Amino acid sequence: MKYRRFSSVDQVVEVLNPSYPILCVHPDRLARSAETFLKGFPGRVLYAVKCNPHPLVLNSLWRAGIRHFDTASLNEVALVQELLPEAECYFNHPVKGTAAIEAADHIYGIEAWVVDSVDELDKIEENVGKHPDVIQVRLQTASGYAAFDLSLKFGATKAETVELLRDVERRGYVPAISFHVGSQCRTPEAYSRAIHEAGEVMREAGVKLRFLNVGGGFPAHYRGTQIAPLDIFFKTIRDAAAKLDLPPDCELMCEPGRALVVEGCTQIVQVHLRKGGSLYVNDGIYGNLSELNIGKLTPPVRLIRRGGKPMSRDFAPFRIFGPTCDSLDVLPEPFVLPDDVTDGDWIEIGQVGAYSNALASHFNGFYTDTVVEIGD
């Protein structure tokens, strides 16, 4: 499918004069983010599809050089494999339905899996057979480093990981270790600590690893956050891995989502009503802006007025209400905009590439179904 291409977001407003919200995909920004990971990370880069599965995003990342994809469901496997037949997918969800395992193996030829329990390993053996697939055992990591802790739900203890790695090898599969330090990880030390623990597990298990997958969690630089540059995260991972006695053919892997695509999309919304210091716009927490509510994030915003009409140079904070009739549909942080913002104006909301359209619902009949491509 082809998407309309515009030279700028302002041109979208001028040409379409939209009364509906629009998701704007910026392939050049996605390419820059991909280059950062492909050049900076010391290993294989897998894009975490769950973060933003839109075909325009996936195609943009493929053109930018991303060849490997972290897929966490059969639908994601199918989406990537049918859109990008030469892509390599990894079924990296620790809990999978029997039918999903069978289809991923028989139809799409998946050869890399994640488990964190012997029951999941049994399911793979029963439905995949004795192929020499790579089985990554997911190691539980310490809490407190990230905005969203994933080890509360997934991950085996160090002792369990040791036994699972031995079991993986005993059954004829290729052992590997994966972990995830949590989404929007604030400190590089979380990775060095997890890598050190993975090394301890590897030595105790006495197996040769094919992969050491450090997962995702790489942070985005939102307003008000103090986070080290990605280069520091990459160096920390490289230095920590160098201290391990990894086999020569053991490859480092990572699964960036947020940090890879957050800058790659912006959202256009229109002001449908102003009530004093409150603005009612046509997207909200049940649509592409749910992550702003979940993460209490403040994105960059700017006012757009069609025809280049002048706007005030004085700014004020405005409370933002979404379009549904639910009183919960309000953003947690105000938007600071020119103080003469009024009905019919548009707002471009930045940094909505991550967990935006991926989480959107059709609640109350409001949703964003118009996507355009912006040639920066």
Residues tagged active-site? 325
Tokens describing residue 305:
């007025």
Other C-beta atoms lying within 10 Å of the C-beta of residue 308: 9
Measure Cα distances from 244 to 52, 176, 189, 201, 236 in Å. Answer: 34, 14, 16, 11, 13
Q: Which residue is listed with tokens 């102003």?
A: 274
Single out the residue of 4, 60, 71 nearest to residue 33, CA to CA: 60
Q: Is 54 exposed, middle or buried (0-12, 13-18, 19+ CB in 10 A)?
A: buried
Q: Could you tell me the end-to-end alpha-carbon distance of the chain, in angstroms, rounded to an integer?
A: 21
Handedness of CA 155, 160, 162, 166 (dihedral sign): negative
Residue 98 neighbours by CB distance under 10 Å: 11
Q: How far apart are CA 185 and CA 182, in angstroms?
A: 6
DSSP string, 255-302: ---HHHHGGGEEEEEEEEEEETTEEEES--TTTTTHHHHHTT----EE
Q: What's the CA gap between 242 and 240, in Å, rounded?
A: 5
Q: What is the 3-state secondary structure (H, E, C) of 347-367?
A: EEECCCCCCCCCCCCCHHHCC
- Please, what is the Cα angle at 76 between 284 and 372, to 5 degrees? 45
CA-to-CA separations, 328 to 57, 135, 244, 348, in angstroms, rounded: 30, 43, 49, 22
Token pair, residue 78, equals 């199918």
Strands 335-338 and 301-304: unpaired
CA 308 remoteness from chain centre: 35
Neighbours of 314 (CB within 10 A): 8
